[in-house]
Amino acid sequence: MGYAKLSTSNGEDVLEKIWLGYDTFGDCCSIGVSRRRPQEDPPNGSCFSVGVLHGSMNSCEDFDGAEPPPAVELKVMDRHVVMNNEILKVTLAKPEGYVTRIKYSGMKNVLQNNQEHDRGYWDIVCGQPTLKNGVFRLRATNFSIITQNESQVELSFSNTWDPNSEDYFSKSVPLKVDIRYIMLSGRPGFYAYAIFEREEKWPALYVDQLRIAFKLGMKK
């Protein structure tokens, strides 16, 4: 069971559609939301978030009277970050934030063995009022650790709009993006959410769709 939520900082109801399913190629599990496009111009500054959670957010505190589960381990390398709670192991590209490997239940990787940016990722359908919408794959440029203890690890992969950047996403989408991944001890899954923010003086932007996608391997 999972849910997705999309809301603005002023409480505006912008959620139009939530889905969980496969794309037309039948190999991509995706969870996403669609946003209603307002008739008026967007507000001068806005912030909204979307999250995807599976299972309970409680950690080892649920195990009263029983031996607590193994601690969550975090390994940070030059180009990758690994979260491991001994139930599953998740590898993420650093600093981009792509999910490159999910090791679970004897499977070395439940994702496809294609290029790392094309396994697990976020994307956004957006555009400016006078321009046609485009699809952009979120690509972070900064990595940081939000929380690290025995029961929980939370990681941040962020990016800020820069019209002078050589990176296509950074110069094309006027947003601050902060992608978060969480792993808890004793839980057979991981959690993801993203925060999107537009500064007051930045160009206007319509966001029609947000999605997190996982391209699953064909062999189970």
- What is the structure's pLDDT at 26? 42
* Amino acid code (one letter) for 199: E
What is the CA 80 to chain-centroid distance, rounded? 16
The model carries a pTM of 0.77
User: Per-residue confidence at 3, pLDDT binned at 50, 70, 90?
Assistant: very low
pLDDT 10s digits, 128-176: 776 678 889 999 999 999 999 999 999 999 999 998 988 888 888 899 9
Surface-to-core class of residue 137, CB atoms within 10 Å of its CB (0-12 exposed, 13-18 middle, 19+ buried): middle
Give the pair of three-digit tokens for residue 58: 């409680």
* Count of beta carbons in the 10 Å neighbourhood of residue 49: 17
CA atoms within 13 A on the CB side of 9: 11
- What is the structure's pLDDT at 183? 94
pLDDT 10s digits, 71-125: 999 999 999 999 999 999 999 999 999 999 999 888 899 999 999 999 999 999 8
- What is the structure's pLDDT at 83? 98
User: Per-residue confidence at 64, pLDDT binned at 50, 70, 90?
Assistant: low
81 Rama sector, left if φ>0, alpha if ψ -120 to 50, beta otherwise: beta
Query: Does residue 194 register a pLDDT over 60?
Result: yes
Query: Does residue 6 register a pLDDT over 70?
Result: no
- What is the structure's pLDDT at 150? 94
pLDDT 10s digits, 197-209: 888 889 888 888 8
Query: Does residue 31 register a pLDDT over 70?
Result: no
